[in-house]
A and B are shown apart, each in its own frame.
Chain A
Amino acid sequence: MAIKVVKPGLSTTVQDLGRPGYYHIGIPISGGMDRFALCAANWLVGNKEDAAVLEATFLGPELEFTSDVTVAITGAELPPKLDGQPRATWTSFKVKKGQTLAFDFLRTGARAYIAISGGVDVPVVLGSRATYTLGALGGYLGRKLAAGDELPLGSGGEIAESREVPARLRRAPGSPAELRMMPGLYWHRITELAGKYFFEDTWKVAPEADRIGYRFRGGRPLDFVPREPPFGAGSDPSNIVDACYPYGSVQVPGGTEPIILHRDAVSGGGYFMIGTIISADMDLIGQLQPNATARFTSVTMEQALAARHDRKKLLNEVRESL
């Protein structure tokens, strides 16, 4: 019971819901960037929501199966083909021993989740199978997949055919994507006008967008409130005494290009942050391609919690629909 990697795709890694508890020594939570899609993919093949799946970025892999399994693809619209025959996304389908799963070119989104019944059974490291490539930790040998890799599969997971997540329950970013942010952290370092522009401007995802963080361009540079640099911070107005970075925090080195930290975040550093993207919108960032447009919206804690509740409710509806 295994998957043979014929072609690895651009950047395909083993991911689950992540590895909490080690951020204080610099090991990030990792796990799927679009956890909504990851949970849905697992439920579609009868797995528990935290089973390990493959996260394929921009370009799908080519995989050969050594046993009969059920497979489902969610997240990005990356059309699957089984032995050359098209299959639907967000829908489970059977794969027979010896068959090959490949993908057409990406239509929308950025990351597809490939769930296989039984789950990808790589060793559990610090409580998770998720890959953290920067630290060469977890997943398959701590790295993205390469041609010739053979991934063991777990047993179990019921073989259910043709389950489908209804279109109204699928989640994807709009264009421009609306990313809700709670201003805070070092927000006081920028002028009132800079803060206003930040929310007014339309931003574009830069080529430097990966599991560590997403960089944005195109908005006006931020003006700083003048200050005497505190000891240990550094002379640039965007410097702080190195501190922790929250997941989703928006740092703006030099005041020019905002970077949103994601699941493989560097855990801390010396750049100020103007706020944090709310938990409900982190899935959406994982589906943005370079050059995609986005706008930031200011929200309060109440609004953030309401959005979190809505996401959870939608995810529950997905579960109940299957």
Chain B
Amino acid sequence: MNSRYSFGGDEHIFVECDEAMSLEAFFKSLSVTKAVRAAQIRGVTEICPANASFQIKFDPDVIKPDDLLRELKSIEAAAASGGHSSLKTRIIEVPVLYNDPWTHETLMRFRDRHQAPDMTDIEYTAKINHLDGVDGFVKAHSGAPWFVSMVGFVAGLPFLYQMVERQRQIQSPKYLRPRTDTPKLTVGHGGCFGAIYSVRGAGGYQMFGITPMPIYDPNQEIKYLKDFMCLFNPGDIVKWRPIDRAEYDQTVADVEAGKFTPRISNVTFSLDEFHADIDGTNAKLTGALYGH
């Protein structure tokens, strides 16, 4: 995996760790950006890890572009030889009402922009992934945890990468033409990536459900978003938990009343351990959430 460096104008360096998405490429992006952050290079103003790439914004009046390029390459080389394939992070449970009325209403409104106008987004995705209907889909989608491989597009929106073998990963194309509307907190999917829409707005991802748990609060009034307005960081792990309408309504009420706290546990993830035993590693990670 040879990284490709490119200047993005006179203020950015863009680094593609790999053309294709993989956990290895994501880990490289995460470990190099962590090392860059730790190096506290003067003139660096933004450090942005992404799925299989990363980007550094800098002030060329403070550090010469070629000097920064050299420094990044040496940090990358050191990070690679250090073998940073383990990560101290958090696992966060996200309750999901699959097949909810709000994304259903929205997907019906935009059926003319979809590949399969006579099916819902879940039915379509279940079919092309050879899953057994909606139930089979929910089982596959919520069965294994997902990595937050990037946060962005809009404020606080996590991109999620399913932690299973490539042949088991759910894949689904984006809408033929993007929608002009997506409900806030929609659980979506495009290509191999899951996402949670942090705000209402345009979008092209398939829509599977909705979470009652806000993940972005610019006013910082929600109890668990008081310290910082965005819940997710790159490197977090997400575990979906299917819920019914009654629990959805109760959770919305609890959030409003300031009584809801997300279920979060600290975990250590090892890439080697994961590759040696995917299901076992995932069971251990999920176990940390529920105290077993």
Contact = CB atoms under 8 A, between A and B. Distances in A.
Given A243-B52, A244-B50, A233 B19 contact: yes
Secondary structure dominating the interface of A: mixed
Interface in B211-239: 216, 218, 229-230, 232-234
A26 B156 contact: yes
A256 to B, nearest CB: 14
A98 interface: no
Nearest to B48: A24
Interface in A236-257: 239-244, 246-249
Contact of B192 (A181, A232, A247): A232
A231 B57 contact: no
A226 interface: no
Contact of B153 (A26, A181, A275, A277): A26
Contacts of B49: 24
A270 B198 CA distance: 18
A270 B190 CA distance: 10
Interface residues of A, number: 51
B160 to A, nearest CB: 11
Interface string B228-272: 011011100000000000000000000000000000000000000
A134 B199 contact: yes
B9 A246 contact: yes
Closest 3 CB pairs of A and B: A232-B21, A246-B8, A276-B9
B20 A232 contact: yes
A135 B197 CA distance: 12
Contacts of A249: 8-9, 12
A239 B150 CA distance: 17
Interface in B134-173: 150-157, 159, 166, 173
Contact of A244 (B9, B152, B156, B218): B152
B186 interface: no
A269 B153 contact: yes
Given A24-B48, A134-B201, A301-B65, A234 B6 contact: no
